[in-house]
Amino acid sequence: MSTTIYLSELANLASHCEPEKIRKLLPSSECQKAERFNSPAAKLRFLAGRLMCRTLLSRELSLAPADINIAISDQGKPILDHSGGVHFNLSHSGDWLALGISCCGPLGIDLEQAQKKRPWLAIAKQFFTSAEVEKLSFLNEAALEREFYRLWTLKEAFFKARGTGLAEGLAKVDFSNSTNPQAPEELKPDKWRGEHWPPQLLSTEHTYLACIHQSAETPKLIHWSLPAQTV
């Protein structure tokens, strides 16, 4: 395996997140953490995300889902303590979750379900590079939304891959002319490759996906459902 991205609907995982089922697949610490969410929707997203991670990672690591040790880095990125060279990253938005798994090095995933009637250009002026803003300024409304989300997902995926989050600043990396990052040398842009999937390639409505990775090959995209025999 090089790099694979799994895309799943939240509704597909919801029925497996009932207490009597989820306790078989998640460690008690994560079940307890889920109970601290005040929002039922936030609780479901957390449980579904961890269930997806553990089910798919168990295949790569030859471990039971509950035995996988997911730690948190100093910068707040979930990582594997016993990966054997396996890396993962998770993103969720609206009705969808996306999980990337790679044996080629760290990776970042960003999934965004588009929100209607947002001031795309005004937002871009706050966070994007001047070259990106200039490109957006020439587009009609429909094309502007598509390009905004292409840029946003690639940027967020880049900083998730680095493990630093958005604190470094979205304007430090430019994707105006490529899915591969253009950035200062200290961000080591040359070791990263970028991929982007608009809604028509995902077979979803208003949902965009980007991956920043270190694989020499284009990541494989799989629409995934949790097998019934898992629970």
Quickly list H helices, the chain.
10-14, 19-22, 28-35, 40-61, 120-127, 130-137, 141-162, 199-202
- End-to-end, the C-alpha distance of the chain in Å comes to 25
- Yes or no: say if 146 and 157 are a contact pair by the CB < 8 Å rule: no
Q: What is the DSSP letter of 230?
A: G
Domain 1-107+214-231 has CATH 3.40.50.1970: no
Give the pLDDT band of residue 212 (cuts 50, 70, 90). Answer: very high
Read off the DSSP letter of residue 228.
Answer: G
The encoded tokens of residue 152 equal 């946003």
Amino acid present at 167: A
> Any bridge partners for residue 19, and if so which?
none
Q: Say if residue 19 is exposed, middle or buried (CB neighbours under 10 Å; 0-12, 13-18, 19+).
A: exposed
Alpha carbons 41 and 148: distance in angstroms, whole number? 27
Average pLDDT over residues 203-223: 92
Domain ranges of the chain: 1-107+214-231, 115-192
pLDDT in tens, 47-60: 999 999 999 999 99
Match 């990125």 to its residue by tokens: 77
In the prediction, which pLDDT does 228 show? 60
Cβ distance 203 to 223 under 8 Å? Answer: yes
Give yes or no for a contact between 128 and 186, defined as CB atoms under 8 angstroms apart. Answer: no
The Cα–Cα gap between 183 and 1 comes to 28
What's the pLDDT band for 151 if we cut at 50, 70, 90?
A: very high
Q: Which residue reads 């597909």 in tokens?
A: 12
> What are the tens digits of pLDDT across the range 113-123?
988 778 999 99
pLDDT in tens, 97-112: 999 999 999 999 999 9
Residue 229 in this model has a pLDDT that exceeds 70: no
Is it the case that residue 43 has pLDDT exceeding 60? yes
Dist. CA 207–CA 78, nearest whole Å: 24
- CA 99, CA 220: separation in Å to the nearest integer? 12
- The token duo for 148 is 């905004």
Whole-structure pTM value: 0.93
Q: Hey, what are 185's tokens?
A: 């040398």
CA distances in angstroms from 93 to 7, 64, 108, 112, listed in the order given: 11, 27, 15, 5
Q: In what order do the strands lie in the sheet with 207-213?
A: 108-113, 207-213, 193-197
Helix (H, G, I), strand (E, B) or coil at 200: helix
Say if CB 49 and CB 93 are below 8 A apart: no
Window from 24-38, 60-74, 217-231 with minimum mean pLDDT: 217-231
